[in-house]
A and B are shown apart, each in its own frame.
Chain A
Amino acid sequence: MWTMVVVFVYFFVILLVGFLAGRLTNNMSGYMVGGRKLGVWVVSFGIMASVMSGWTWLGNPGMAYTEGYSAVITFTSFSPLGLVISYFMIAKPVRIISEKFNCYTLSDILAARWNDNKTIRVLGGIIILIGSATYLVSQWIAMGTAIQATLGTGYKLSVIIGAIIISSYIIAGGMLASMWTNFIQMIVMFFVAIGLIVAGLVAVGGFTSMNEQIAMIDPGMISPWQTNDGGLTMSFVLSYTIFMLVMSYGGQPAVNTKFMMIKDKKLLKWSPFICTIALIVGTFTVYIGMQGRILVEKGMISAPERQDTILLDVLSSILPTELAGIVMVAILAAVMSTAETHLFNSATSVIQDLAVKCFGLKIEEKKKLLLIRCTMAALAVITVIISLSPPKLISLIGTQAFGTFCAGFGPTLYLGLRWKRMSAKAAIFGMVIGLAVGGVFPIINSVFFGERLLSDWAIGGLAVLLSFVVTIATALLTNAEESKVFKINKKM
């Protein structure tokens, strides 16, 4: 009962904030990039909330439950490093270019860099649409599971309830609503994560004691790479952490599009510090997985039926029932903040990137806003229907979206904004290889080879590497066009 009250209060606050943002949004700039008037805290927490999905709270601890430190290192410890590097590489150029050339989407930035090249714009729009829409399906599924566990409603009804709440305020208020609600959601996640980490460490007798106990259960669990059958191997850990996290984290539209929204580029300098602290605290929930393993081995809680639910099982053991409700809100916040970002990105890629900029649809601003809202509603309905009984292929593409974004956009952005020599052909080939290896190859690997060729996460790392190699090679073999973005890159 207490949990339901907390969740309903949370839903009410989020809807209220979303609709208030909607009342302040009356033009394209306000709807798409919050009018480029957002403060550093809202932007930084907005980035983090959209990056931390249900996977952070359920999947990561679940992996650590069986794999130990190899999961910690793979999924969490390198993310902050990749995030800071993305600031060094692209944050400031993206903010400056977006203002000078009135860019709203990632494809707008890429098109500005390569003189409105249509192929690059189409490719960017397609990658965002496929990645975001399928990611959205996976988030509806996660949200359905979370609401089902919280409210006790059936899975299908839970998905529909969650989708209606999110769609209503994001359609009304656009990115401004998304950023405001993300800010609140990240505050909830931040403090709940701190509480959980402290409570978990107390339950197992502290950090050193946790490590000693986990080593006694399985010595492989304190190794950076598990050598047991089915464990995370060295090649897996290193390919994922180095290529996908360190070298291309900023390829995610959920991260790079938000650099455009800060009100003053000078404020950007504080953003990575805020983000890094938030990301470290948020992702350290992974340790709950190992703490859960200790509690299971001690017989204090029963072994979970699915490892993904270990965090929920640990909750009942280390926190009072009243506080467990707040943790459920944090999990919902994680899923909702990610879902709303991908719903928004997929709709804007259809209208802004493809219909208006590529196919020359000429409409006035108000009609364009209406069209984006209608597209968002249509995409929400379509993806919800798919998520009610998701085909395996859609789920697979959804899990590959992160790798597709990193490989499809990471090398192109990191090199393109810092290397005048990089031609449009280099960008196109790099993006095509990123999409093909990061997005299509995992499907072939799964459908035709039963995932025997490579693990999906290792494919993501390989895709980023190949995309970098192809981009650099093509750039060296082709002539670069003069770009308008480097004409504004004036030394003060």
Chain B
Amino acid sequence: MIFGLPILTLFLAIGIPIVAILLSVLYVITFNDGDDWLTIEDIVDKFRKGK
């Protein structure tokens, strides 16, 4: 028990909103200013070239 809650409850109730905040910070860091956006085809293409 942490803060009087089972670990799973604590993670789902408090941890998930914290994960959301961290992801929103990641969005700021990874945002690109161009007129383009990534598609599934781009990802597949990059993966193939990487191989």
Residues of A near any B CB (own CB < 8 A): 69, 72-73, 77-78, 80-81, 83-85, 87-88, 92-93, 96, 207-212, 215, 222-224, 265-266, 268-270, 272-273, 275-277, 280, 417-421, 486, 488-492
Residues of B within 8 A of A223 (CB): 6, 9
Q: Tell me, rounded to whole Å, the shortest Cβ–Cβ distance linking A423 to chain B.
A: 14
Residue contact B12 to A492, C-beta cutoff 8 Å: no
A207–B20 CB distance below 8 A: no
> For residue B33, which residue of chain A has the nearest CB?
A266
Q: Say yes or no: A69-B39 contact (C-beta < 8 A), given A77-B16, A273-B21.
A: no
Could you say which residues of chain A place their CB within 8 Å of the CB of B4? Answer: 207-212, 215, 222
| Nearest CB of A to B43, in Å | 9
* CA gap between A209 and B33 in the complex, in Å: 47
Q: Which of A210, A211, A215, A280 sits near B17, CB closer than 8 Å?
A: A280
Contacts A222-B6, A492-B33 known; 12 new A-B pairs at CB < 8 A: A69-B13, A77-B14, A77-B17, A81-B19, A84-B20, A210-B4, A273-B25, A280-B20, A420-B39, A420-B41, A486-B39, A492-B35
| B36–A489 CB distance below 8 A | yes
Chain A residues near B12 (CB-CB < 8 A): 69, 73, 77, 224
Answer whether A276 and B40 are a contact pair too, CB < 8 Å, given A69-B5, A80-B17: no
Q: Name 24 interchain pairs, CB-CB below 8 A, sorted by A.
A: A72-B13, A77-B14, A87-B24, A87-B27, A88-B23, A92-B37, A207-B4, A209-B4, A211-B4, A211-B5, A224-B6, A224-B12, A269-B27, A273-B24, A273-B25, A418-B37, A418-B40, A419-B39, A419-B41, A420-B39, A420-B41, A491-B36, A492-B35, A492-B36
A421 to B40, CA, bound (A): 9
- In the docked arrangement, what's the CA distance between A211 and B38, Å? 44
Interface contact A224-B39, CB-CB below 8 Å: no
Given A207-B3, A211-B5, A223-B6, A84-B23 contact (CB < 8 Å) = yes
B-chain residues with CB within 8 Å of residue A421 when the two chains form the complex: 40-41
User: Residue among B32, B35, B41 with the most chain A CB within 10 A?
Assistant: B35
Residues in A whose Cβ lies below 8 Å from that of B6: 222-224
Residues of A within 8 A of B14 (CB): 77
Q: Any chain A CB within 8 A of the CB of B50?
A: no
Question: For B8, B21, B27, which residue has the most chain A Cβ atoms within 10 angstroms?
Answer: B27
Chain A nearest CB, measured from B14 CB (Å): 7
Closest 5 CB pairs of A and B: A211-B4, A492-B34, A80-B20, A269-B31, A273-B24
Contacts of A87 in B (CB 8 A): 24, 27
Do A93 and B37 touch (CB < 8 A)? Answer: yes
